[in-house]
Amino acid sequence: MNKPINNRAWFLVLPVLVLVAFSAVIPLMTVVNYSVQDTFGDNEFFWNGIYWFDDLLHSERMWNALGRQILFSAIVLLIEVPLGIFIALHMPKKGFWSSVCLVLMALPLLIPFNVVGTIWQIFGRVDIGLLGRALAGLGLDFNYTQDVIDAWVIIVVMDVWHWTSLIALLAYAGLRSIPDAYYQAAKIDQASRWAVFRYIELPKMRGVLVIAVLLRFMDSFMIYTEPFVVTGGGPGNATTFLSIDLVKMALGQFDLGPAAAFSIMYFLIILLVSWAFYTVMTNLDREEGPQ
Amino acid sequence: MTETLASPVAAAPVRAVRVRPERSVASAVVLTLYILFLLLPIYWLVNMSLKTNSEILGGFSLWPRNPTLANYLTILTDPSWYMGYVNSLIYVLLNTVISVTVALPAAYAFSRYSFLGDKHLFFWLLTNRMAPPAVFALPFFQLYSAVGLFDTHIAVALAHCLFNVPLAVWILEGFMRGVPREIDETAYIDGYSFPRFFARIFMPLIASGIGVAAFFCFMFSWVELLLSRTLTSTEAKPIAATMTRTVSASGLDWGVLAAAGVLTIIPGALVIWFVRNYIAKGFALGRV
Amino acid sequence: MAQITLQNLAHSYLPNPKGEDDYALKQLDHDWTDGEAYALLGGSGCGKTTLLNIISGLIRPSRGRILFDGRDVTDAPTAQRNIAQVFQFPVVYDTLTVRDNLAFPLRNRGLPAAQVAQRVQAVARMLGLEEMLPRRARGLTADAKQKISLGRGMVRQDVNAILFDEPLTVIDPHMKWELRTQLKALHREFGHTMIYVTHDQTEALTFASRVVVMHEGRVVQIGTPQELFERPAHTFVGYFIGSPGMNLLPARVEGDRAHIDESGTIALGRGYGGLGGRIEIGVRPEFARLSAHEGLPVVIRRIEDVGRHRIVRADLGGRPINIVASEDEPIGPDMTRVVFDPAHVGVYADGWRVEGSPR
CATH number of the domain that C270 lies in?
Answer: 2.40.50.140
Residues B135 and B208 in one domain: yes
Mutate to test the interface with B, among A122, A158, A196, A240 (most CBs of B within 10 A): A122
Pairwise CB contact (< 8 Å): C78 & A188: yes
Residues B42 and B116 in one domain: no
Q: What is the pLDDT of residue C318?
A: 83
Distance CA(C206)–CA(C185), nearest Å, equals: 12
CB neighbours of residue A92 within 10 Å = 16
Q: What is the pLDDT of residue A2?
A: 64
Better-scored residue on pLDDT, A140 or B38: B38
3-state secondary structure of C292: coil
Number of domains in chain A: 1
Q: Which positions in chain C touch B3 (Cβ < 8 Å)?
A: 89-90, 170
Return the partners of chain B (3 or more C-beta pairs < 8 Å).
A, C
Residue A18 located in a structural domain = no
* Residue A287, pLDDT above cutoff 70: no
Nearest chain B residue (CA) to A108: B38
Q: Which positions in chain C touch A189 (Cβ < 8 Å)?
A: 104-105, 108, 152
Pairwise CB contact (< 8 Å): C95 & A290: no
Mean of the pLDDT values across residues B166-188?
86
Task: Kindly report the nearest CA distance between residue C205 and chain A, in angstroms.
Answer: 26
Number of domains in chain B: 2
Mean per-residue pLDDT of chain C: 86
Nearest chain C residue (CA) to B1: C139
Exposed, middle or buried: residue C79 (CB in 10 Å: 0-12, 13-18, 19+)?
middle
Pairwise CB contact (< 8 Å): B10 & C53: no
Res. A73 pLDDT band, cuts 50 70 90: very high
| Nearest CB to B10; choose among C60, C87, C142 | C87
Q: From C240, C259, C286, give the residue that closes a domain.
A: C240
Q: From C188, C208, C240, give the residue that closes a domain.
A: C240
Task: Kindly report the nearest CA distance between residue A205 and chain B, in angstroms.
Answer: 8
Are A222 and A263 a contacting pair, CB within 8 Å?
no
Task: Kindly report the nearest CA distance between residue C109 and chain A, in angstroms.
Answer: 7
What CATH number should be reported for the domain holding residue C75?
A: 3.40.50.300
Task: Kindly report the nearest CA distance between residue A188 and chain C, in angstroms.
Answer: 5
Residues C283 and C317 in one domain: yes
User: Is any Cβ of chain C less than 8 angstroms from the Cβ of A194?
Assistant: no
What CATH number should be reported for the domain holding residue B151?
A: 1.10.3720.10
Residue A163 located in a structural domain = yes
Res. C317 pLDDT band, cuts 50 70 90: confident
Least confident segment among A2-6, C106-110, C134-138: A2-6
Residues C87 and C126 in one domain: yes
Residues C27 and C109 in one domain: yes
Q: Give the β-pairing of C309-316 and C299-305.
A: antiparallel
User: Is any Cβ of chain B less than 8 angstroms from the Cβ of C167?
Assistant: no
User: Is any Cβ of chain B less than 8 angstroms from the Cβ of A4?
Assistant: yes
Residue B132 located in a structural domain = yes
pLDDT tens, A176-187? 888 888 988 888
- Dihedral over alpha carbons A181, A185, A190, A191 (to 10 degrees): -70
What backbone phi and psi angles, to 5 degrees, belong to C317? 55, 35
Mean of the pLDDT values across residues B169-193?
86
Number of domains in chain C: 2
Give the global pTM.
0.79
Task: Kindly report the nearest CA distance between residue B3 and chain C, in angstroms.
Answer: 6
How many Å separate Cα B100 from the centre of its chain? Answer: 13
Nearest to C145 by CA among A193, A207, A182, B9: A182
Q: Which positions in chain B touch C88 (Cβ < 8 Å)?
A: 9-10
Nearest to A262 by CA among A20, A31, A15: A31
Q: What is the pLDDT of residue A289?
A: 46
Least confident segment among A9-18, A213-222, C169-178: C169-178
* Residue B288, pLDDT above cutoff 50: no
pLDDT tens, A244-254? 888 887 777 77
Distance CA(C49)–CA(C54), nearest Å, equals: 9
Q: What is the pLDDT of residue B248?
A: 47
Better-scored residue on pLDDT, B131 or C104: C104
* Residue A3, pLDDT above cutoff 80: no
Residue B8 located in a structural domain = no
In DSSP notation, C49-75 reads HHHHHHHHTSS--SEEEEEETTEE-TT
What CATH number should be reported for the domain holding residue A132?
A: 1.10.3720.10
pLDDT tens, C190-235? 888 889 999 888 888 888 889 999 988 888 899 998 988 988 999 9
User: Is any Cβ of chain C less than 8 angstroms from the Cβ of A251?
Assistant: no
Task: Kindly report the nearest CA distance between residue C107 and chain A, in angstroms.
Answer: 9
Distance CA(A252)–CA(C181), nearest Å, equals: 79
Of chain B, the end-to-end C-alpha distance in Å amounts to: 9
What backbone phi and psi angles, to 5 degrees, belong to A6? -155, 105
Q: What is the pLDDT of residue B15?
A: 37
* Residue B286, pLDDT above cutoff 50: no
Distance CA(A214)–CA(A81), nearest Å, equals: 11
Nearest to A152 by CA among A126, A119, A124: A124
Which amino acid makes up residue B157? A
Q: CA C314, C316, C321: angle at the middle one, nearest 5?
A: 45
Q: Which positions in chain C touch A203 (Cβ < 8 Å)?
A: 93-95
Residues B218 and B175 in one domain: yes
Q: Which positions in chain B touch A221 (Cβ < 8 Å)?
A: 132
Residues C187 and C294 in one domain: no
Host domain of residue C161: 4-240
Q: Which positions in chain B touch A103 (Cβ < 8 Å)?
A: 269, 272-273, 276, 279
Are C66 and C73 a contacting pair, CB within 8 Å?
yes
Residues C174 and C40 in one domain: yes
User: Is any Cβ of chain B less than 8 angstroms from the Cβ of C90?
Assistant: yes
Host domain of residue B103: 73-283
Return the partners of chain C (3 or more C-beta pairs < 8 Å).
A, B
Mean of the pLDDT values across residues B199-226?
87
Q: What is the pLDDT of residue A158?
A: 93
Least confident segment among A45-49, B4-8, B31-35: B4-8
Residue A52 located in a structural domain = no
Residues B58 and B172 in one domain: no
Mean of the pLDDT values across residues C101-118?
89
Host domain of residue A98: 65-254
The proportion of chain A whose per-residue pLDDT surpasses 70, expressed as a percent, equals: 92
Pairwise CB contact (< 8 Å): C89 & B14: no
Task: Kindly report the nearest CA distance between residue B53 and chain A, in angstroms.
Answer: 11
Residue A119 located in a structural domain = yes
* Residue C27, pLDDT above cutoff 60: yes
- In this structure, is the dihedral angle defined by the CA atoms of residues A269, A270, A271 and A274, taken in order, positive or negative? positive
Q: From C218, C240, C262, give the residue that closes a domain.
A: C240
Nearest to B217 by CA among B182, B251, B264, B172: B172
* Residue B60, pLDDT above cutoff 80: no
Nearest chain B residue (CA) to C89: B3
The C-side interface with A (CB below 8 A) comprises 53, 56-58, 77-79, 83-85, 87-89, 91, 93-96, 104-105, 108-109, 136, 138-140, 149, 152-153
Mean per-residue pLDDT of chain A: 82
Better-scored residue on pLDDT, B246 or C328: C328
* Residue A207, pLDDT above cutoff 80: no
Q: What is the pLDDT of residue A42?
A: 58
Nearest to C54 by CA among C37, C30, C22: C30
Task: Kindly report the nearest CA distance between residue C14 and chain B, in angstroms.
Answer: 9
Residues C233 and C339 in one domain: no
Q: What is the pLDDT of residue B280?
A: 62
* Residue C1, pLDDT above cutoff 80: no
* Residue C325, pLDDT above cutoff 70: yes
Residues C274 and C125 in one domain: no
Quote the strand ranges of B16-110, DSSP E: none
Residues C231 and C324 in one domain: no
Residues C73 and C123 in one domain: yes
Residues C86 and C198 in one domain: yes
pLDDT tens, C277-306? 888 899 999 999 888 888 888 888 888 888
Residues C268 and C170 in one domain: no
Exposed, middle or buried: residue A32 (CB in 10 Å: 0-12, 13-18, 19+)?
middle
* Residue B9, pLDDT above cutoff 60: no
Res. B282 pLDDT band, cuts 50 70 90: low
Q: Which positions in chain C touch B7 (Cβ < 8 Å)?
A: 89
Distance CA(C348)–CA(C233), nearest Å, equals: 9
User: Is any Cβ of chain C less than 8 angstroms from the Cβ of A1?
Assistant: no
pLDDT tens, C58-72? 888 888 889 888 888
Nearest to A154 by CA among A143, A165, A163, A164: A143
Task: Kindly report the nearest CA distance between residue A190 and chain B, in angstroms.
Answer: 15
Pairwise CB contact (< 8 Å): B271 & A130: no
Mean of the pLDDT values across residues A1-22?
81
Residue A288 located in a structural domain = no
Residues C188 and C295 in one domain: no
Pairwise CB contact (< 8 Å): C105 & A184: no
Q: Which positions in chain B touch A174 (Cβ < 8 Å)?
A: 284, 288
Q: What is the pLDDT of residue B99?
A: 94
Pairwise CB contact (< 8 Å): B39 & A104: yes
* Residue B81, pLDDT above cutoff 50: yes
Residue B3 located in a structural domain = no
Distance CA(C39)–CA(C212), nearest Å, equals: 6
Nearest chain C residue (CA) to A178: C91
Q: What is the pLDDT of residue A41?
A: 58
Res. A43 pLDDT band, cuts 50 70 90: low
Return the partners of chain A (3 or more C-beta pairs < 8 Å).
B, C
pLDDT tens, B232-257? 887 778 877 777 665 544 556 788 88
Q: What is the pLDDT of residue B5?
A: 34
